[in-house]
Structure 1
């Protein structure tokens, strides 16, 4: 036991017995042999120094902030032990045995730090590959897109993970504590209704801590969404419709005017004097207000 500062084992026989055989002192920790050495039978006290140490560990993210709930795996001369950091990112590892220890930190099942440390009473600080990322979601005109679903998928050797967040009214989504060790692949996905964006994330994005996601979204009123291409197609369709209506109106106007002229000149048409067509063309020119000759010709042919 190491519960007391100076553990002792006392042998107190009731009757002193002369011993001529060799004595041996054996010390175990669990089932692990730590010390085996000869003992002088005439020595009243035998001191045994065991290299046990207590190690304090602080685990922080890539920006130096505490990382609560991180899992630690510690390998010393006696085997492997596990521990979890508290709300301040700290943990005290008691009774580690040996001169060096291997410490590995995992976050959400992803290995984010590993270090070999020498036995020391100083606190150990481990900086991990865990990042906080702010994603600003904007539309085609730069307007914030509220309610967008933001997800980051992380994959690597023997692990795969996805972290999600939702954009607020200002279009900002905070994706906290992303484990991204070297060699991992990160994909950012942003979804709002039927509009979706996917792009890879780089180490520079993670270190900067802020990325902007531009959606092909011009209008967003819940059930009504318009992409830029859809808006252009809608405007083009409206312009073509207006042009078609204008052409139809022009044709109807010409036909109605022709009917009016014919009704005015019906009697003269029946008489058909030689000057009828000249007077008709002059009437057309006066009625159209001196417009282009092409339009006069069309009107005359319609008649």
Structure 2
């Protein structure tokens, strides 16, 4: 391998984020057995993601026993982000646990059981279930599963005819449910059996191998909100708590502009809002224009003094 190719491989490996997500929407087709409530999702496939990385199914298969023994299902990764973000009672956001994992070719399927009862965890699980089964239209939920990246390499991908980063080993321990779409290539999550269970949905996130709260990245949201069955193009975002409002967005984008992490143009700021904060395109574009308007107003007032 020549020096240029070696440098390119190093860049590919260094670009593998500590966290990355793929996800899709939950469909409201209840699956209950003896009072137990189940969700089904496809964890991942071996198509390159938006950043050109591949998760080998063997990595998930090898970690599936660990995930079943030690993993959980939560809301918005709060059980992982909670300690770093200062979220109170962050374990209350755990809503269930995995009960089975199946590998079907280059696809990994998971069956998870939601909690029942009157505990804070169960109340959150009830909220998820009821939003899918006791209202019309059902709420749209998305999933991303996560764990520590333990090994990675660079390989030639015959589909894209490019060299891509490959995640070879992971310590899988978390699946999060969220209200925002993430990945385009993985099929839908479901509360009815699918795939090797009878078909399903997906997502994937990677954390630091030490298990600590990451300073890395997760995937953002896409722009195909009309269909939603395909999720959205994979992007990267900060693993800080999600942008909660325009005011939160304005503070973050202003900080990034001051730090010269992004130039103050419509296109650059919109792309940054999508990739860094995980906003959908329409929201990113709308808030960017609003931010620039606020900025122009503030500058005009300053000049008038």
What TM-score comes out, normalization by structure 2 length? 0.21
Larger helix proportion of the pair: 2
Larger strand proportion of the pair: 1
What TM-score comes out, normalization by structure 1 length? 0.21
User: Using CA pairs below 8 Å that are at least 6 residues apart, which structure has the higher relative contact order?
Assistant: 2
